[in-house]
Amino acid sequence: MLSETTRGVYVIAATPFSETGEIDYGSVDSLMDFYLAKGVHGVTILGMMGEANKLTFEETEQFARYVLRRIAGRVPVVVGITSQALSTLQALARTAMDAGAAGVLVAPVAGLRTDDQIYDYFAAVCRTLGPNVPFALQDYPQATGVFLSASLFSRMVMAFPQLVMLKHEDCPGLGKLSQIRIDAERQGLRRVSILTGNGGLYFPQELRRGADGAMTGFAYPEMLVQTYGHFAVGDPEGAEDIFDIYLPLVRYEQQPGFGLAVRKELLRRRGAIASAKVRAPGPTLTGDDIQELNRLQARLERALGFAQK
């Protein structure tokens, strides 16, 4: 089960579609096998980069059950259940937990402005989920428009025992990450797990600031795993060295509103999925984009070859 001690790399899984837009369950199989082969410590499905907002309720339930059967307990699976309706959130949480999920991921709904509004919303989420469902709070104000202060997060940690993780991807957010760790120590609070996002763009710095790993996507998840692994054994410089090799591609893939198309194309090239289709509305790569990606991927392969000599 998801807990305060959860660590490592929980990859945000893409949702594979066929060229005609249906969920491609053959590619779901190959994608999950790909992630496991790259050594991820967990998988998160139905996140924002998993195009959860483009699925029907029935597709969401079917996809969650299918992935959990495919993973079959080999690593923990976290299921995104964010919804404007608490009744839908409750139904998705029940489906996920009954199928064997380790916990759920919840982002605040749009329109919350004050600390009290955000606090009251997550109090309602906790009542809706019930005390036995651990959850990660997704802090992604660039997408939600909801800003979570360090002090409010500490207040919620004190009040909500089932809040066991922060999916931290505020940007810039390194100072907030440090402040959360400082506040917890000063106030004697639970030290919750913090896994970071933003495509891993700031991953080495976040680890130095007290993050426990990453909950994000990248078409080369082995980089995240290796970076975390070096840091976990006390080799932060080695972690930085691994990260630096991939940084140009990390940066390119992290372009807002465009990066998912890049990630899916790279996953297709790597044999993880059959099609790079992004369900509408979504971006499509142009010829110039493809040429840029070709150059970046070729440079990465050369750099990896050089590093292995």
Give me the CATH number covering residue 98. Answer: 3.20.20.70
Structural domain includes residue 3: no
Are the CB atoms for 134 and 106 separated by under 8 Å? no
| Counted domains in the chain | 1
In tens, the pLDDT along 124-177 reads 999 999 999 999 999 999 999 999 999 999 999 999 999 999 999 999 999 999
Residue 131 lies in a domain: yes
Q: Is residue 25 part of a domain?
A: yes
In whole angstroms, give the CA distance from residue 69 to residue 192.
28
Q: Per-residue pLDDT tens for 18-64? A: 999 999 999 999 999 999 999 999 999 999 899 999 999 999 999 99
Taking CA atoms, 83 is separated from 107, 125, 195, 227, 298, in Å, by 8, 11, 21, 33, 40
**Distance between CA atoms of 35 and 267, rounded to whole angstroms?**
10
User: What predicted TM-score, i.e. pTM, was given to this entire model?
Assistant: 0.96
Give a yes or no: residue 45 inside a domain.
yes
Please provide the average confidence, as pLDDT, over all residues in the chain: 97
pLDDT value at 307 more than 80? no
1: in domain: no
State the residue range of the domain holding 186: 8-307
**pLDDT tens digits, one per residue of 60-80:** 999 999 999 999 999 999 999
- Please indicate whether residue 306 or residue 178 has the higher confidence score (pLDDT): 178
Residue 87 lies in a domain: yes
Exposed, middle or buried, 139 (CB in 10 Å: 0-12/13-18/19+)?
buried
In this structure, how many other beta carbons lie within 10 angstroms of the beta carbon of residue 114?
9
